[in-house]
Structure 1
């Protein structure tokens, strides 16, 4: 093709048709420029298509993260409602006798620690690293995902920190009692039961812990509800592009 155009130029020059030569040369330049622009457009389209495919693959990872979190959080909520919540309500709202404590070891749930939870962030972390992430925050699925994680990570971290701090304060406080070591290591409850009736601050500490738990559980429930909605949105988006 290049030889063909070169031959035309040579013939025009040999025939002394300078005007036609320049017109032809300009036309050839225009064709070259158009070819370059088309090539750039195709390259840009390919890059955009590649980025969209990568983005959709990340959406699937986000979905997997959400499903993992939903499973873990729902299990945590179930166990809380099954054991800890009834224990808190019994200890705080009933006039428990020593016999009640001795016959219902479940009441001691108010003294136990809690399972560490974490929000899975593989997908959102990869999405933030994707080129053009900041340009997609105004609307669309990327925006919905970013808003979801921004809100719930803040709430989750705040709740986890408050719960951990209250447990730490309680453990430091209980370490001052002679019965604490035997209660912790041998599960002997006599000393704790005596202190529960004689030290009003113990009940206050348990009430504070219950209050924090209730907020924490509400945040987890909201996460689960909103995560399920987001999964539906991801599924709908992926169906539309097929």
Structure 2
């Protein structure tokens, strides 16, 4: 093809058709430029398609992580609700000065048992490494960042750290007055009648109940936020398929 165009130019020059040669050469340059621009456009299109596919893959992975986290958090709230019910049962016995019952054995084992929030963050960590700007939808990008950098952090700091603090401060007292049974699935106070008189025990009990109720509130708020973000991700993914 190059030889063909070269022969045309040589013929035009040999025939003395300079004006036609200039026009032809100019046209040839224009064609080359157009070809380059088309090639660049195709390359840009391919790169854009690759970036779009990568973005959708990252969004899909974030959505999958959030769905797993939603299931885990829903399970956590059920277990923590059950532990509060058991703690309330102990409180009922103490406040009404009732004699000990074996139904409290499971309740006394729940003092140090609560479900900590463990969100799945693998996809978000990858997204941060690659750059949050890979998410072209600014509003969605901010919602994802807010979920991982704020919502989950609040749940951890305001709830989980509070639980650890209460239990660590109460451990000496609890270990002194309560003994574990059956691989810590049940426990029983050494002297329930004496324990009922201990103001420190009542304070520990009320603090744990209050903390876990706060945790449930935060869990439920976070669950609602996760469900909403999953819907936004689903819409974004479906609208760009």
Q: TM-score band (shorter)? A: 0.7 to 0.9
TM-score (structure 1 length as normaliser): 0.81
Instruction: Provide the rounded CA distance (Å) in 1 between the counterparts of 2:153 and 2:187.
Output: 39
Say whether the 8 Å CA contact 1:141–1:233 is kept in structure 2.
Answer: yes
Instruction: Provide the rounded CA distance (Å) in 2 between the counterparts of 1:165 and 1:37.
Output: 65
Q: What whole-Å deviation, never above 9, does each CA across 1:49-107 have from its counterpart, x for those lacking one?
A: 122122222222222212211211111211222x2122233444661435245543243
Q: What whole-Å deviation, never above 9, does each CA across 1:151-179 have from its counterpart, x for those lacking one?
A: 2221232122222232222224545x3x4
Q: Cα 1:99–1:127, aligned 2, differ >3 Å: closer, same or farther?
A: same
* Structure 2: runs of 5+ lacking an equivalent: none
Say whether the 8 Å CA contact 2:55–2:134 is kept in structure 1.
Answer: no
CA shift, 1:150, in A, is 2.5
Q: What whole-Å deviation, never above 9, does each CA across 1:165-211 have from its counterpart, x for those lacking one?
A: 32222224545x3x45xx03676634363553343122222222222
* Structure 1: runs of 5+ lacking an equivalent: none
Q: CA RMSD in A?
A: 2.8
Report the counterpart of residue 147 of structure 2 in structure 1: 148
Q: Cα 1:171–1:137, aligned 2, differ >3 Å: closer, same or farther?
A: farther
CA shift, 1:113, in A, is 1.9
Say whether the 8 Å CA contact 1:170–1:205 is kept in structure 2.
Answer: yes
- Pick the aligned partner of 2:180 from 178, 181, 184: 184
Q: What whole-Å deviation, never above 9, does each CA across 1:118-167 have from its counterpart, x for those lacking one?
A: 10112222333346x32647624333323322222212321222222322
Instruction: Provide the rounded CA distance (Å) in 2 between the counterparts of 1:148 and 1:190.
Output: 42
Say whether the 8 Å CA contact 1:156–1:219 is kept in structure 2.
Answer: yes
Report the counterpart of residue 16 of structure 1 in structure 2: 16
Q: Secondary structure at the match of 1:189?
A: strand
Report matched runs for 1:175-214 at 5 Å. Answer: 175=175, 177=176, 179=177, 183-184=179-180, 189-191=188-190, 193-194=192-193, 196-214=195-213
Instruction: Provide the rounded CA distance (Å) in 2 between the counterparts of 1:53 and 1:119.
Output: 25
Instruction: Provide the rounded CA distance (Å) in 1 between the counterparts of 2:172 and 2:26.
Output: 86
Report matched runs for 1:231-242 at 5 Å. Answer: 231-242=230-241
